[in-house]
């Protein structure tokens, strides 16, 4: 990173993320949109610098012996094998010293894998020996995976049309509608994307909707729809037939879902979740998806900033929120219907333990199947899903 304007933009984005709490992806996209004169190489260098500094914040703080954003940028440049520019912000840094500290192999795991001390202890308590493997896997950069919108196009047709646009991809074993891209193109500028032929969605996330075992003509509720990635997948699996209701507390997310449904050409009723809807929908659903708010620990490969926003108090409140959502929404499921409880977390406190407690208190439900997706074993995001049947 030899160009001052790239460095200044990187520092501004890091300050927004670390000091102001902006989501890293939003900071990157906002900055790139403003820098109309940047070429592809500039955009890629900037995005890589921001994400890698956010990902390795703790390690870079150790190497630079400083929390200053310029010091972290210096550590990043040193790790990449570059030379520090003759800028006053780098006057107190020594490239060789930075590289020597970064190369140390006897650092505590919390520093080496770049997480807060409390989170390292929490992960060890939750996962035991598996924690180190999962944490290491979650520090790898995520692949770009897309899902073919089978209402418009098959996966093989999508692959061929992407190749015509010089975008190579390969199939993902066990995920029938997924393609893993060989590069990182600006997908939102593609005509295929604008007309809804595909959605960007990690392979693990693409396994959730099929796990619900939906069929055409069913009544299906996605009660924690968010911006609707899984909602759109459900619509495709239902072949756009039946009644699909997408609910969430966030108006902004539902507005985004509305835009995505129009692009994808799917039939979905979208509404803010409230007591009246819960009452009106009692025993309505043949299938119920609860894609729970969670720690997001399984998505640190693509959202590394989320690990710096966690704290024990937040996790405790989050788990109570999950229990409350289960209490409020499960009456929507009719007898004989099925529901899936899913999170993008790797922590049992948000997953198996929540289901065990729910089943103990709700004998009308029985566990049919559960599935844990390990980042270290699959290279996918970390996910948990449990399918329950109402007797």
Q: From the centroid of its chain, how far is CA 113?
A: 19
pLDDT in tens, 156-171: 999 999 999 999 999 9
Above 80 in pLDDT, residue 2? no
pLDDT for 231 equals: 97
- Closest among 247, 251, 252 to 268, alpha carbons compared: 247
Q: Is the dihedral of CA 247, 296, 141, 1 positive or negative?
A: positive
Report whether pLDDT(347) > 80: yes
| Domains in the chain: boundaries | 4-107, 145-200, 205-390
For residue 263, what pLDDT band results from cuts at 50, 70 and 90?
very high
Separation of alpha carbons 188 and 117, rounded Å? 38
Residues 6+ apart with CB under 8 A from 279: none
Beta strands in 41-166 (DSSP E): 145-148
Burial class (CB in 10 A: 0-12, 13-18, 19+), 314: exposed
Residues in the chain: 391
Domain spanning 145-200, CATH class:
alpha beta
What is the model's pTM? 0.94
pLDDT band (50, 70, 90) for residue 186? confident
Catalytic one among 224, 262, 294, 344? Answer: 344
The answer, yes or no, to whether residue 189 has pLDDT greater than 90, is no
pLDDT, tens only, 100-147: 999 999 999 999 999 999 999 999 999 999 999 999 999 999 999 999
Confidence of residue 89 (pLDDT cuts 50, 70, 90): very high
Long-range CB contact pairs, 280-285, < 8 A, 24+: 281/221, 281/245, 281/332, 282/331, 282/332, 283/331, 283/332, 283/333, 283/334, 283/335, 284/219, 284/221, 284/245, 284/332, 284/334, 285/219, 285/220, 285/221, 285/245, 285/332, 285/333, 285/334, 285/337, 285/339
Say which range, 7-11, 22-26, 36-40, 290-294, has the weakest mean pLDDT.
Answer: 36-40
Q: Tell me, yes or no, if 224 is annotated catalytic.
A: no
In the structure, what pLDDT confidence band is assigned to residue 344 with cuts at 50, 70 and 90? very high
Contact of 208 with 230, CB cutoff 8 Å: yes
Q: 205-390 domain in CATH 3.40.50.150?
A: yes
Output the pLDDT for position 144: 96
Q: Give pLDDT tens digits for 206-237.
A: 999 999 999 999 999 999 999 999 999 999 99
């Amino acid at each position: 990173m030899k160009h001052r304007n790239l460095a200044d933009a990187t520092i501004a984005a890091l300050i927004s993320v670390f000091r102001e709490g902006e989501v890293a992806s939003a900071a990157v996209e906002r900055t790139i949109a403003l820098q109309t004169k940047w070429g592809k190489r500039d955009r890629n260098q900037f995005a890589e610098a921001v994400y890698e500094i956010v990902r390795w914040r703790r390690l870079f703080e150790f190497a630079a012996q400083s929390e200053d954003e310029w010091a972290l940028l210096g550590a990043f440049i040193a790790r990449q094998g570059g030379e520090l520019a003759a800028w006053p912000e780098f006057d107190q840094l020594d490239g060789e010293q930075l590289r020597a500290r970064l190369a140390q192999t006897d650092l505590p795991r919390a520093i080496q894998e770049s997480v807060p001390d409390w989170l390292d202890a929490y992960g060890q308590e939750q996962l035991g020996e598996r924690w180190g493997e999962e944490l290491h896997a979650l520090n790898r950069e995520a692949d770009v995976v897309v899902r073919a919108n089978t209402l418009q196009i098959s996966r093989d047709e999508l692959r061929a049309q992407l190749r015509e646009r010089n975008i190579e991809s390969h199939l993902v074993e066990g995920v029938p509608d997924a393609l893993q891209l060989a590069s990182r193109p600006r997908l939102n500028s593609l005509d295929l994307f604008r007309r809804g032929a595909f959605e960007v969605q990690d392979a693990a996330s693409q396994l959730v909707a099929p796990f619900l075992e939906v069929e055409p003509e069913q009544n299906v509720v996605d009660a924690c729809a968010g911006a609707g990635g899984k909602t759109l997948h459900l619509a495709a699996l239902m072949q756009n037939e039946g009644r699909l209701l997408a609910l969430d507390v966030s108006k902004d997310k539902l507005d985004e879902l509305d835009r995505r449904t129009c692009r994808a050409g799917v039939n979905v009723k979208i509404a803010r979740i409230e007591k009246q809807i819960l009452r009106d929908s009692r025993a309505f659903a043949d299938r119920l998806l609860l894609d729970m708010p969670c720690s997001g620990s399984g998505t640190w490969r693509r959202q590394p900033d989320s690990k710096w926003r966690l704290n024990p108090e937040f996790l405790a409140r989050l788990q109570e929120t999950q229990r409350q959502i289960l209490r409020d929404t499960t009456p929507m499921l009719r007898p004989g219907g099925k529901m899936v409880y899913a999170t993008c977390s790797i922590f049992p406190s948000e997953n198996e333990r929540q289901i065990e407690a729910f089943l103990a208190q709700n004998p009308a439900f029985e566990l049919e199947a559960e599935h844990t997706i390990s980042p270290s074993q699959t290279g996918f995001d970390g996910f948990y899903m449990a399918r329950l049947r109402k007797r």
